[in-house]
Structure 1
């Protein structure tokens, strides 16, 4: 479902696992930081609201969304990290650069999760313009950071079941 048809901050809390002892790595792109900081705030608030301990949340910044994959790999290889959340924003421009970056990041994040057999979450906005990004970073369509955090929580529940 397109995010303009669903609020990214609305989700089911049915059967959420206990995450009080889980450790989360959060990798945040510095590019489009007004957007990525809002995504981080959403993810942080969601994790804390559902029982994560502040001391078990580790934030690391990378220069851009392309670097999220390597940042995620550094965290995923750490045995004590239970899940990794990647937060970024790539806004469509006038060149094909957007396509290459988005494709590389999506595939890279997927590969890291498969390689380390743990949740590595794609919390990357890929809007056409700045307003669409704002709408999905705490605006009228909710916050993709909330969605990324609840996805990590639910995937940890899946692994526990």
Structure 2
């Protein structure tokens, strides 16, 4: 469903699994840092809210969204890591650069999850404008970081 039709921060937690002993990796792009920090805080707070321990949440930064894939692999390769959440922002520019980045990140994150058989969550905000990005980080559409953390929790329930 399109983000415009729902709030990213609305969810039903009634069937969440116990995550008190789970370990989570957050891989956060530094590009558009003002926004990615808000996404990261949303994911972190959501994990804590649902029982994760602060000492079991690891946050690593990478230069940009393109590097999220390798950053996810660095964390996912550790057996004790239960889920990895990738957070970044790509805003359309004057060229098609954003298309290449978004496609590569989507494919890469998918491959990392399959390779290590664990949830690796796509928390990439892809928009046309800076305003739309803020709307998906802390605005009228909620917070994509919250949505990504919820997806990780839900996937751990399988």
Into which bin does the TM-score normalised by the smaller protein fall? Answer: over 0.9
**Cα distance in 2 between the residues matched to 1:154 and 1:14:** 11
Q: Does 1:69 align with 2:30?
A: no
1:20 aligns with 20
**Cα distance in 2 between the residues matched to 1:139 and 1:157:** 29
**Cα distance in 1 between the residues matched to 2:153 and 2:121:** 10
Q: Which structure 2 segments of 5+ residues have no match?
A: none
Deviation for aligned residue 1:119: 0.1
Deviation for aligned residue 1:12: 1.1
**Cα distance in 1 between the residues matched to 2:62 and 2:130:** 20
1:8 aligns with 8
Deviation for aligned residue 1:14: 2.2
Deviation for aligned residue 1:138: 1.2
Question: Secondary structure of 1:84's partner?
Answer: strand
> Where has structure 1 moved over 3 Å in runs of 4 or more?
none
**Cα distance in 2 between the residues matched to 1:101 and 1:15:** 34
**Cα distance in 2 between the residues matched to 1:14 and 1:49:** 13
**Cα distance in 2 between the residues matched to 1:45 and 1:104:** 28
Deviation for aligned residue 1:15: 1.1
Aligned length: 158
RMSD: 0.4
Q: Does 1:54 align with 2:54?
A: yes
1:109 aligns with 109
Question: Secondary structure of 1:86's partner?
Answer: strand
2:81 aligns with 81
Per the normalisation by structure 2, the TM-score is 0.99
1:132 aligns with 132
Q: Which structure 1 segments of 5+ residues have no match?
A: none
**Cα distance in 1 between the residues matched to 2:2 and 2:76:** 29
